Amino acid sequence: MLKTTTAGSLPKPAWLAEPEALWAPWRLEGDDLVRGKQDAALVWLKLQEDAGIDIVGDGEQFRRHFVHGFLETIEGIDWQKMTKMGIRDNRYEADVPTVTSELRRPTSVHGAEAAFCRGHTSHGLKFTLPGPMTICDTIADGHYGSRPKMAMAFADLLNAEAKELESQGVDVIQFDEPAFNAFMADVKEWGVEALHRAIDGLKCKTAVHICYGYGIKANIDWKNSLGAEWRQYEEIFPALNDSRIDQVSLECAHSRVPLSLLGLLKDKEVLVGAIDVATDQIETPEEVAANLRAAMEFVDPERIVACTNCGMAPLSRTVAEGKLKALGAGAALLRKEL
Ligand code: ZN
């Protein structure tokens, strides 16, 4: 009961990439970079275990960005043809690559990374992949002509990748879908269907991480514009609850998502974000326990997994380590109490 995990990303060590930056360029190259990423993953596997995190991950040490890390190996994408696009419903503008022909996955993207992590931990192992809708909101379409159509094509590639990860011993595969609170109608029309295609035939646990974004300025400004209560999820939770995804991960610490909405996920395991990733303030174990206790009003403790609100990649390593420890200690505190 009350197992612990993280939403995914963790900071890169300073010797691997510039700290406290998203998209930070690598500081190593060639074979040194390959070994450097593995070493960074080892550091975080150990630190997660020491912090009492039950289901650990690679902290996304092998990739620069949570979406493009997957896309880099995919054929059919022109990285020279950059298109300026408003993403997450025009929350920010970005130059994104363009899909110019039929998408193909010539080889496994993260299989070797998963195998490496599996070889170095006996804890539950989680791996994250970008969700089909979020990919389509982070890349321009110059081939498929419709977002749902392109999303299904990506979902098929993700499914092949997920099966590879499962075969390497991954216990939980999480799809990151921060686009789910920007396009609520699409979630119901084709977003969940695309996820189903991505998890088709998997026997391991599956999760979807929905999210109001990393603690970066564009997201903080956007959150401040959303009013006193964030009710976007009210529209999509019934569809998620009816879906075949096992777990839903969302931010609950210092979030304006009314916790009562968790009552709409009565058939799911809920990864309750009990660590705020938008502040350097390290939670006390008591604060973490209080966040989890608040969620328990709407979710039985058997269905709660204690988690971070989102990835911690933009934080300093010291802060992220502190927050991991607080998460482990806070969940342990509450377990004891129960
Ligand atoms: Zn997130």
Domain ranges within the chain, ordered by starting residue: 3-337
Q: What is the pLDDT of residue 228?
A: 85
Find the 311 Cα to ligand 1 centroid distance in Å. 6
Measured in degrees and rounded to the nearest 5, phi and psi for residue 71 equal: -70, -25
* Lowest mean per-residue pLDDT among 113-127, 205-219, 257-271: 205-219
Closest among 285, 222, 290 to 252, alpha carbons compared: 290
Q: For 31-40, what is each residue's pLDDT tens digit?
A: 999 999 999 9
Q: What is the DSSP letter of 25?
A: P
The share of the chain scoring above pLDDT 90, in percent, equals 85
The pLDDT of residue 267: 98
Mean predicted confidence (pLDDT) in 167-193: 96
For the ranges 24-38, 49-63, 80-94, the lowest mean pLDDT is seen at 80-94
The alpha carbon torsion through 249, 252, 254, 258 (nearest 10 deg) reads 130
Among candidate residues 183, 182, 163, the one with its CA nearest the CA of residue 173: 163
Cα–Cα distances (Å) from 278 to 200, 214, 294, 308, in that order, read 34, 7, 20, 11
% pLDDT > 70, the chain: 100
Q: What is the mean pLDDT of the chain?
A: 95
214 C-alpha to ligand 1 centroid (Å): 6
Distance 337 CA to ligand 1 centre (A): 29
CA–CA distance, 137 with 105 (Å, rounded to integer): 19
CA of 31 to the centre of ligand 1 (A): 31
In the numeric block, which tokens belong to residue 146?
Answer: 């419709």
Residue 307 has what pLDDT? Answer: 98
pLDDT value of residue 212: 83
Ligand 1 centroid – CA 16 distance (Å): 23
C-alpha 176 to ligand 1 mean position (Å): 7
| Residue range 225-259, pLDDT digits in tens | 888 888 889 999 999 999 999 999 999 999 889 99
User: Using an 8 Å Cβ cutoff, are 88 and 182 in contact?
Assistant: yes
CA of residue 308 to ligand 1 center, whole Å: 9
Spacing, Cα 79 to ligand 1 middle (Å)? 25
Q: Which class in CATH covers the domain with range 3-337? A: alpha beta
pLDDT of residue 214: 72
Question: What mean pLDDT comes out for the span 97-116?
Answer: 97
Q: Judge whether residue 78 has pLDDT over 90.
A: yes
> If you measure from the C-alpha of residue 274 to the centroid of ligand 1, how many angstroms do you get, rounded to a whole number?
13
The pLDDT-based confidence of 322 (bands split at 50, 70, 90) is very high
Does position 161 have pLDDT exceeding 70, yes or no?
Answer: yes
The sheet with strand 205-209 has its strands ordered as: 3-4, 304-308, 269-275, 247-251, 205-209, 172-176, 124-130, 55-56
Distance 177 CA to ligand 1 centre (A): 8
Neighbouring residues of 54: CB distance < 8 A, sequence distance ≥ 6: 3, 4, 5, 123, 124
What's residue 213's pLDDT?
A: 76
Task: Dump pLDDT digits (tens) for 107-146.
Answer: 999 999 999 999 999 999 999 999 999 999 999 999 999 9
pLDDT of residue 77: 97
pLDDT value at position 90?
A: 82
At 215 the pLDDT is 67
pTM: 0.96
Strand 75-87 and strand 92-104: pairing? antiparallel
Calculate how far, in angstroms, residue 2's C-alpha sits from the geometric centre of ligand 1. Answer: 20
- Give residue 178 CA to ligand 1 midpoint distance, Å: 6
- Report d(CA 207, CA 195) in Å as an integer: 10
Nearest to 67 by CA among 113, 152, 132, 162: 132
